[in-house]
Amino acid sequence: MKILSYGSLNLDFVYTVPHFVQEGETLSSLEREVFPGGKGLNQSIALAKAGLPVSHAGAIGSDEGELLVRMLEAVSVDTSRISILSGPSGHAIIQRDLNGRNGILIFGGANKALTREKILADLQDFGRGDFLVLQNEINELPYLVDQAYAAQMRIVLNPSPLDASIFDMDLSKISVFLVNELEAQALLMHYDQSLDLDGHWSETKIHSALESLQKLFPKALLVMTLGKAGSAAISPDAYARCESFSVPVVDTTAAGDCFSGYFLAAQAGGASLAESLRRASAAAAIAVSRPGAAPSIPESKEVDSFLAKQV
Ligand code: RIB
C-alpha cells in the first residue's frame, strides 16, 4: 500500500494579535513568525511522522517555496512530484490571538496552478488499494478524484476549507471523509436544507449527524472532529467516540491536519476506530500546545509517551 498526499504547500505568516482585526480597523501585531504550512504539507508531515512512507505531489512557486520542500524531505517524504512553477508559492496570513485561536486567509498561488497533465503523470505509479489523501486547497480536485477512482485508489478527503467547489467532485468516490463539525453540518445541509443543526453538539446529535452522513455515503468511513468535544467516527460496521485531551492551548493551527495524518496512519496499522481516534486526538493535543503549523506536529514516540501518561 502506497500513500500519495496531493495537496497545498503554503508559507504561513503568523501574526500574534490581541484580537482578530475588525472591519475598518488597523491593528498592530505583537509578533510575526513564518512557518511551513498548507493543509496538504501538514497532512504529509503528520503521515510521515506517524510512520508511513508518503509521496507528496503539488507545486511551489519560483519564490521561497524551497523551504517547504526541505521541510518534507527532513521527514523523508518523497518530494519528486512537487513541481516548481513560475509565479508565487501558496501562502497564508494567519492571525493568532492570545488564546491560540486563529483566523486564516490563504492565497493559492502555485497550489491552484496544477494541470491535468501533471496530475496524470503524478498518479502513474499508484493503483488499486493505494491511498490518495486530499484537502480543498488545490485546483482540479474533481479531475484528480475521477482519475484516482478509475485507478481503484482509496480516496481520503479533508474538505477543508469547505466551499461550494467541494460539490463539483463526485463525493460518492470518497472512501474516507475527515470533517470538523461545521463541515459535517455544511455537507448535510447541502443535501437537506430543512435540517436544523444549530446549537449544542450533544452525544445524540453527534451520533445522528454521522448516521445521516453515512446514509449519504454508505460505503465511506466518516470521521468528525469537534474541537474540545473530541472526535467521533462511523464506518459501515462500527461507531466510536473519543473525548479530547486537556492541554494548554498555544496555537490550534494544523491540529486538524495532524489529527488526519495520525488517524490514517493508525487505521493503516490495523488499529480499531476507537484506538485510531485516541491516537489522533493525542497527536492533535500535542500540536495545539505548540506554535506553528507543520513544526507543531509531534513525532510518533512523543505521542506514545503522551498516551502513556494518561490514566
Ligand atoms: O490547516 C492549517 C493550514 O491552513 C495552515 O498551515 C495554512 O497554510 C492553511 O492552509
Q: Is 230 exposed, middle or buried (0-12, 13-18, 19+ CB in 10 A)?
A: middle
pLDDT at 281 (0 to 100)? 98
Compute, in angstroms, the gap from residue 94 CA to the centroid of ligand 1: 8
Atom of ligand 1 nearest to the CA of 160: 1
Compute, in angstroms, the gap from residue 191 CA to the centroid of ligand 1: 27
Compute, in angstroms, the gap from residue 102 CA to the centroid of ligand 1: 10
79 lines ligand 1 (CB under 6 A): no
C-alpha cell at 207: 451520533
pLDDT at 196 (0 to 100)? 77
Report field, pTM of the whole predicted structure over 0.85: yes
Compute, in angstroms, the gap from residue 253 CA to the centroid of ligand 1: 7
The helix/strand/coil state of 182 is: helix
DSSP H helices in the chain: 39-49, 66-74, 116-123, 141-150, 181-191, 203-216, 255-268, 273-288, 300-308
Atom of ligand 1 nearest to the CA of 8: 10
**Tens-digit pLDDT profile for residues 226-266:** 999 999 999 999 999 999 999 999 999 999 999 999 999 99
**Tens-digit pLDDT profile for residues 257-306:** 999 999 999 999 999 999 999 999 999 999 999 999 999 999 999 999 99
Q: What share of the chain is helix, strand, coil (3-state, %, to 5)?
A: 40, 25, 40
- With cut-offs at 50, 70 and 90, classify the pLDDT of residue 63: confident
pLDDT exceeds cutoff 80 at 10: yes
pLDDT at 197 (0 to 100)? 79
Residue nearest to atom 9 of ligand 1 (CA): 38
104 lines ligand 1 (CB under 6 A): yes
Q: How many CA atoms lie within 13 A of 126 on its CB side?
A: 31
Q: Is 310 exposed, middle or buried (0-12, 13-18, 19+ CB in 10 A)?
A: exposed
pLDDT at 44 (0 to 100)? 98
C-alpha cell at 98: 492570545
Per-residue pLDDT, averaged over 171-182, amounts to: 97
Q: Residue 231 pairs with which residues in a beta bridge? A: 225, 242
C-alpha cell at 44: 504529509
Q: For the chain, what is the mean pLDDT?
A: 96
CA distance 181 to 204: 14
CA distance 35 to 60: 15
pLDDT at 212 (0 to 100)? 95
Q: Residue 81 pairs with which residues in a beta bridge? A: 57
- Give the single-character DSSP code of 32: E
10 lines ligand 1 (CB under 6 A): yes
Estimate the crossing angle of helix 39-49 against helix 66-74, to 10 degrees: 20
**Tens-digit pLDDT profile for residues 87-133:** 999 999 999 999 989 999 999 999 999 999 999 999 999 999 999 99
Atom of ligand 1 nearest to the CA of 92: 8
Residue corresponding to grid cell 488545490? 138
Compute, in angstroms, the gap from residue 43 CA to the centroid of ligand 1: 10
- With cut-offs at 50, 70 and 90, classify the pLDDT of residue 37: very high
- With cut-offs at 50, 70 and 90, classify the pLDDT of residue 308: very high
- Is 264 in contact with 5 (CB distance < 8 Å)? no
Compute, in angstroms, the gap from residue 256 CA to the centroid of ligand 1: 10
Phi-psi region of 227 (alpha: psi -120 to 50; beta: other; left: phi over 0): left
pLDDT at 192 (0 to 100)? 87
Per-residue pLDDT, averaged over 221-228, amounts to: 96
